Structure 1
């Protein structure tokens, strides 16, 4: 920092105000960069399902009663989603030609507006970067791969998601981990579970089978996220997988617990790289279901033998 300000020596009194303004902008830019660097996101984001589905019935539990929820004993059924996870690409590669150039120009022009979130420094700098983003975005968008190539790669990844059987895999992992952590009897349900994201099945008929509660798990979506501001032609993408875990009391179908977990891969690769490495992509999906299952079990089941 000292070396930076030594270069801003006042040559004359008439220039002091101008140099002080430049120095001030430099300080604001450095502060904004530090602030952005310290706002990273971890591998998991957790959100209550009742923030997503406020109409869902849920029992209100005071802190003193939380132990009572975890003391429910007996047989626990485990159900999984009965639908294919939604697949999407957000911020993916531009498609070449005129449409790609137009898309890149528009996105590049407005990309600097993201700097406004950094505060005053971002607001001051953004207008000067917008013309640059326009040109860079147009060049990159126009040099992007043909639309048919992008669509073929996206279709191949979508097919992998559909054939991965992520719902069954998540259920099996929860049953396995749960059996290691609790003394409950776990019963696998293959004919029950939500038919779509947000579906709330009625589990009360299971009372005849002797189960007291149901653990419901589901993989809602698999999304490739692009985070590059100026790399529209071939951005690096991370894999994001959203999973749901619910604990429902069978007697009255009341939800005792519900959370949404979002897993992000540590590696980021281009669409071509993900599509060109089917084994690597499937391994990433396996890692996602494994970690989501672990989070669900940690949040729902008590320590082994606590019942």
Structure 2
């Protein structure tokens, strides 16, 4: 009788323990890091997420910009984010969500010292006819659709510079042509000689290999996670649209096609359709 009267209390105790113990995985501690923690306008950064209870890819945003992730191990994810060159300097919160787990981490954006370049060019280099404007408009529509494409990760490890030479025009340079404001330079111009080899900055797929009105012979590589690298003014291309390339493969040769005053490579990087300083991407520890 005593044992029978004790059983309800034993059942209640066991039920209480089972109720308060979390299901396996739900007690996982979500760890989020950003590197570097301090960047400049137009720079890229890496967000690492570890210990997520969910196996689904996390999501993250900084301001209105989305950060896309890929797996780097068990319950480990890596994303590459960016801020545009005209982002206001200040403190920003990166908001990360992994399943039902949420974390915020701080990112500091400092003002960049962008240069101003005054250029004197012949009239035929700066004049654009209505027909040319229509061609440029159609090409921009095509390019924007490419840069909005998000495919599975192809990149592997750090990105490399496609031509090892001097940078003659940095990212973010404000260009004044013939005493008239023109545009902001959204890549870097690398010095080279006609015919020098241009190599793929990382593994990827050739999203475009064709001539453009302004960029001349152009190659665009899709590296996955919304990351694209751009190679312009080539004398000729060495790949075709749809090709798969590995880091270091020759994809073209330096030239001066399109609106260019001499042989060089215009090298650009887009992350989620944001033009970023390529040098900041090359410096990321991936």
- Pick the TM interval, shorter chain: under 0.3
Q: Which has the higher strand share?
A: 2
The answer to which structure, 1 or 2, has the higher relative contact order (CA under 8 A, 6+ apart) is 1
TM-score (norm 1): 0.23
Q: Which has the higher helix share?
A: 1
TM-score (norm 2): 0.24
